[in-house]
Amino acid sequence: MAKVFTFAEVSEHSTNKDCWIIIKGKAYNVTEFLEEHPGGDEVLLSATGKDATDDFEDVGHSVTANEMMEGFYVGDVDSSTIPTKVTYTPPKQPHYNQDKTSEFIVKLLQFFVPLLILGFAVGVRFYTKSSA
Q: How confident is the model at residue 62 (pLDDT cuts 50, 70, 90)?
A: confident
Residue 55: per-residue pLDDT: 87
Query: CA dist 86 to 6, 50, 54, Å?
Result: 19, 11, 14
Q: How far is residue 34's CA from residue 106's CA, in Å, rounded to a whole number? A: 54
Residue 87: per-residue pLDDT: 65
Average pLDDT, integer, range 70-87? 86
Lowest mean pLDDT among 23-37, 53-67, 77-91: 77-91
Q: What is the pTM of this model?
A: 0.61
Residue 99: per-residue pLDDT: 63
The domain segmentation of the chain, as residue ranges, is 4-81, 96-132
Taking alpha carbons only, the member of 62, 20, 16, 50 closest to residue 35 is: 16
- Asked whether residue 113 carries a pLDDT value surpassing 90, the answer given is yes
What's the whole-number average pLDDT of the chain?
85
What is the phi-psi region of residue 85: left when phi exceeds 0, alpha when psi lies from -120 to 50, beta otherwise? Answer: beta
Q: Alpha-carbon dihedral of residues 21, 23, 26, 28, nearest 10 degrees?
A: -30
Architecture of domain 4-81: Roll (3.10)
Cα angle vertex 20, ends 17, 25, to 5°? 180
Residue 12: per-residue pLDDT: 92
